[in-house]
Structure 1
Amino acid sequence: MTQSMRPYRSVLYIPGSKERALDKARGLPADAIIFDLEDAVAPDAKDAARATLRAEIDKGGYGDRAKLVRINGFDTMWGNADIHAFRGADIDGLLLPKVNSALDIETLAEMIADVPIWAMMETASGVLNARTIAAHPRLAGIVMGTNDLVKELGCRPGPDRAEIQTALQMSLIAARADGIPIVDGVYNAFKDEAGLRAECEQGRDLGFDGKTLIHPDQIAIANEVFAPSEADLDLARRQIAAFEEVEARGEGVAVVDGKIVENLHIVTAKALIAKAEAIEQREG
């Protein structure tokens, strides 16, 4: 599945140090996995986790879901070893934490040539430089690191996350300007299904491709919310049919359900149908 067509509704963090969790992930319905060598691994377990994760990835069995490895920053004592360990691995990207500027992406790009690069947007500097970060030719996607962002900003987000909306939207606008996927930050209360659903719906409405998750029980809700609904698809198909009908008469505007439908709406409708087809292929 190509990068442009691949769904990212559910992106699950899995600790790189836990062999049992790495094995279980092979059968989970997440669209993507972030194999984490950074926050989820204690300092004295970094080297063992790196070796364990590379061995599990080499075993395969993760299907066509996206496989991202979150390395330690190359300004740490483990970052260089992480980068070296995954040269030639069957992965879809290295996820660089705490990206502050496009220079960070360029530095990693010079260190490894054969792996796409993803950026964690989780610092104030990163958000302010989101446009140039997203524009780097090696950048393949963005992950919002809302926990670290909240910590750095010193804010206390409520249920509507109004306190970090500017950061979310600046990052999303930058990703869309360069046509790369971007996924929302985690929802920490993994047993709160109603809260997770509300935050997924907010992220979807903002325009995110999906949500990062900290527990397998969160996958089903993310997959449901970030997938086109049957009502969405029905409307898209009717918009396309109506527009094709008026276009055949040499006209440029149709009306569906009392609303104007122009070419821009057809572009959106076709993209929605393509997303549904990619999800069907992923799940099939």
Structure 2
Amino acid sequence: MPQTDISPAIARSWLLVPASKPELFQIAQESEADAIIIDIEDAVAAKDKAQARADTVEWLSTGHRAWVRINDAASDFWSTDLAELEQAPGLEGVMLAKTESASHVNDTADRLPEGMRILALVETARGVLHVEQIANAPSTFRLAFGTGDFKRDTATGDDPIALAYARSQLVIASRAARLPAPIDGPTLSMDGLDAGTRLAKEMGMSGKLMLTHEQAPMVNAGLAPSPDEVAWAHGFVRAFEESGGKITDGSDLPRLARAQKIQAQARDFGIEIDAASLAELNY
């Protein structure tokens, strides 16, 4: 079932759909992905971009809504992308490819309707180096990590440790700028998806890009609180309230904040714990 009521600030699964394959747009919309991004950048060959852009604008002008990944600010296609998308009524926001500076975000925002949301896709060494300024650009809505292009740019490998520094930089910059937690890059194989999703969560990221809609259920479950975490949160908050808010040591308030965050996420994502299970909790 489509997760159309999930705010993009907390969206977990971000499905990239090639703009050159408009037959996939409806399939994407009916999937369990929290958010859809029609991709007119890397997923489309240069000779096909005009038609792909036209198909995207038509889709967004006929009662449908989606984000669009546009070409980077240094490309020959960036200004045309923005000019044609500017008035598309169903445009949720844009993902700016290869964001390397705050000026890339600012210049993009200047060509879009006021308040249009921009996902800054950081996928180069220069982008990571300038990620603090990118995060603090007024129109940056959320950061995303383009792992494939970053590995190509820096010649790093597939071992998670090779990308740990870059991921941490996005997480820290997002938190310092009071942005939602960043969106991690895609995992290409279903076999590695569980581990890839757990890694993103462990690193402090709260979203993940996907190249196929079949991955949405696993990503959504992996980036949401588990039933055990929700049960713990309810139990801890209940015990804290029943004690009159008594603080026993310095870990109580941090744990209370974590429990309340988990409860909020459970509400947002519709995760429920049955009454019988809650009644059995003993904290």
Taking structure 2 as the reference length, what is the TM-score of the superposition? 0.87
What do the CA deviations read for 1:109-130 (whole angstroms, capped 9, x no partner)?
2222431111011010111111
Q: What is the number of equivalent residue pairs in this alignment?
A: 264
Alignment of 1:202 onto 2:163 = no
Where does residue 34 of structure 1 map in the other structure? Answer: 37
| 1:225 alignment partner, one of 222, 225, 245 | 222
Where does residue 281 of structure 2 map in the other structure? Answer: none
Instruction: Name the aligned partner's letter for residue 39 of structure 1.
Output: D
In structure 1, what is the Cα distance between the partners aligned to 2:63 and 2:218? 26
Higher mean Cα deviation, 128-137 or 82-91?
82-91
In structure 2, what is the Cα distance between the partners aligned to 1:2 and 1:111? 27
Flag the 1:3–1:253 CA change in 2: closer, same or farther, 3 A.
Answer: farther
Name the SS for the 1:95 alignment partner: strand
Q: Which consecutive unaligned segments of at least 5 residues does structure 1 have? A: 255-259
Instruction: Name the aligned partner's letter for residue 35 of structure 1.
Output: I
Instruction: Name the aligned partner's letter for residue 40 of structure 2.
Output: L
Q: Quote the offset at 1:74 in angstroms.
A: 3.0
Q: Quote the offset at 1:61 in angstroms.
A: 4.5
Contact 1:243/1:261, CA 8 A, preserved across alignment? no
Q: Quote the offset at 1:12 in angstroms.
A: 0.8
Q: Quote the offset at 1:247 in angstroms.
A: 3.2
Q: Which consecutive unaligned segments of at least 5 residues does structure 2 have? A: 272-283
Alignment of 1:102 onto 2:102 = yes
What do the CA deviations read for 1:7-65 (whole angstroms, capped 9, x no partner)?
32211110112111012112100001111000001111111111101111222355xxx
In structure 1, what is the Cα distance between the partners aligned to 2:85 and 2:236? 46
Contact 2:86/2:111, CA 8 A, preserved across alignment? no
Flag the 1:221–1:98 CA change in 2: closer, same or farther, 3 A.
Answer: same
Higher mean Cα deviation, 50-59 or 138-147?
50-59
Q: Quote the offset at 1:253 in angstroms.
A: 3.2
Instruction: Name the aligned partner's letter for residue 232 of structure 2.
Output: L
Name the SS for the 1:169 alignment partner: helix
Name the SS for the 1:125 alignment partner: helix
Taking structure 1 as the reference length, what is the TM-score of the superposition? 0.87
Instruction: Name the aligned partner's letter for residue 270 of structure 1.
Output: Q
Contact 1:70/1:96, CA 8 A, preserved across alignment? yes
Where does residue 127 of structure 1 map in the other structure? Answer: 128
Higher mean Cα deviation, 112-121 or 161-170?
112-121
Where does residue 280 of structure 1 map in the other structure? Answer: 270
In structure 1, what is the Cα distance between the partners aligned to 2:7 and 2:131? 21
Alignment of 1:253 onto 2:218 = no
Contact 2:12/2:223, CA 8 A, preserved across alignment? yes
Flag the 1:9–1:143 CA change in 2: closer, same or farther, 3 A.
Answer: same
